[in-house]
Amino acid sequence: MTGSDDGDDAGLRKFQKELSAGTVSLALLAVLGASAEPMYGYQIAKRLERLDGVLAGKQSALYPVLRNLGAAGLLDSHVAPSDAGPPRRYYRITEAGRTTLRHWAAAWRATRDSVDAVLEGMIE
């Protein structure tokens, strides 16, 4: 690999990290918004892993985002005993979270559509 390739790889990783920062919150709200039951962190992570690229194998990034969404009033959580190990914290989206999810989803779609329109025909 040449030095240029290393720089390109580093630039791509930085871009992907910055892009991922906001999309993880949106994806978490969407997963919890689609679930009829509260979910614990590992369940959420497994659901997101099936959606290739959202967490990119970094489950540890999930928990600070869940805490931040909870602190913002977008999620409720409670701890419940588990038959298979230590107690688990379960998360459920709040009404404020559902409203935020609708707004963020609309902003995501508008941004995606705008970027797609700019990129259309520019990239082979």
Structural domain includes residue 15: yes
Q: Given strand 75-82, what is the order of strands in its sheet?
A: 39-40, 85-93, 75-82
Quote the pTM value.
Answer: 0.80
Assign residue 97 the CATH number of its domain.
1.10.10.10
User: Which of 34, 31, 35 has its CA nearest to residue 54?
Assistant: 31
10-51 tens-digit pLDDT:
888 787 777 777 788 999 999 999 999 999 998 998 888 887
User: Which of 45, 36, 24 has its CA nearest to residue 92?
Assistant: 36
pLDDT at 7 over 90: no
- What's the domain range around 13? 3-119
Structural domain includes residue 124: no
The domain tally of the chain equals 1
pLDDT of amino acid 16: 72
